[in-house]
Structure 1
């Protein structure tokens, strides 16, 4: 479905409030988890301002009933297929980074990247299975290809749930692919197991210019994609970089990319810090980071991902241990779970699936 665009496209908890957010690239101090946890509250501001229409009108929603029916007809949402698509996407990104280093002609590789967007989008339409792959820690591997694929998935989820059409999904997809490719030239700094010096932080910030230079080598991207990449570290409260822009001055796609990029970063280990689990990452977004991001994007993201995102391990009121395998829209506190261990902590012989949104008991008692 991206084929037609080729050539044209160019009260959150008080403890969390005390945590200072450092807005340099992937260098966020993570608060310790607390138990028991106070209830999570959603932002109360209005949804983000509607994205301005493109010059070429395209009113139909990409996620039409007909499209979904066709995709489901030709595919099945299962873990094996989703993992295969995910791993192929990572390999595509690894190859892209090699081509960038060796200064090859990137324009001839664009078909591969559009294919990546097609495959990931189709799988997201089918269901949530691919989301379980984004929480796998691969500390022995170079983080950047996985990070980029994860951000593509997360930003696409937000776009899909905003009803983006083909053109808008293409904008956010391409922006996500290229937003951090400039970090590859800084991989030695990113690999440091200590906190970076001020000079190193300054160098890390140049990854935006590096990424834009790569985009210029392709030569077919629209200005909105370049602007989104340029602004993905800006923050609603003006604390971001490179220009310290605020609120409505920030491109709406960049608001989406900023949240996806940050959420992905804080849920994965880096050499200099530990990771948050998915549940605590959501709490962090609603706590210390709530003024950094558009409240409408946060609300939509959490309504889709839930307070307990796909892949989270949770404890039920029955003391059973379960994994979140799906999220029901509108029920962020009551996802679909698969029982892994019984109340005594023993592995279950046969897993059972419970849709918590369809029953009052049990509820989730906490996360692991």
Structure 2
């Protein structure tokens, strides 16, 4: 096949969804026939299956990953006047969860090699107002949970796992989402485990957190029409729950296919102009994204495009330089590793259904750059 014949997407949801369409539509018909559209039986089935998969006592389905972060803050008692430490290089929703609770995100830099939150930068950001640290398993690769947890224990802070991109990733053999007292997930359609619609989740072993979050997501109710606290309409929909239950059964095999693709990228891309995310021996990523850096990001993207490969940009502006947070007073140069990543990152094609021909072409062109 000639280079001109290729049009390789960075992500193709159509291929995955077609492979499970019949299974999902069968479940949709059950939801439809039972009118179980808002919470209910099919959400509960997914919650039970996902808790078992992650290895926690509880999983709570909510309407998206940003809301999951917001509810986690509330369950931990975080609110106005509090501060939460957040990596500067993450999708903005990590910080939104803090802000929606009335607290202030305090940003810290990432490690220059792993691109995960830099544990050695956290203590300098702690103040008497600090209540928690959010660690993000960025691109699906776990952050160094033990190192961050040790700092949290020392300073009596909560640790929250933002596992939005890490469904099926493991840290030292344990599932992401089971590593801290509370964790949050996004099931946005493009995630490794993505709903047919918007959805999110929270996992925990803490019964009190589980009870409060279930109340908060459903108008502050434990008994219908009796509202014990000011709550929210943050339920997961039945169609979303049903589609997630179907896809969860396929997630391990899909993740293994992603890992096989990533292994070929790691071993066969030899171009010295391309830098990859360092993979510590204790991290087993699900490779939600395969991100590289290069000095001339725009030139690299154009070169890929000319050869039928669609690269993508994920988070080209770090959180601390977003206009929404300019009132916090951060400036360019505050977090050099995060800023370098943001201005030099490119996501290569990564999805389980990528063909061998597409993969080999991508590797060849990246090496030719």
- Give me the TM-score of the superposition, normalised by structure 2: 0.29
Higher strand proportion: 2
Which structure has the higher relative contact order (CA within 8 Å, separation 6+)? 2
Higher helix proportion: 1
- Give me the TM-score of the superposition, normalised by structure 1: 0.29
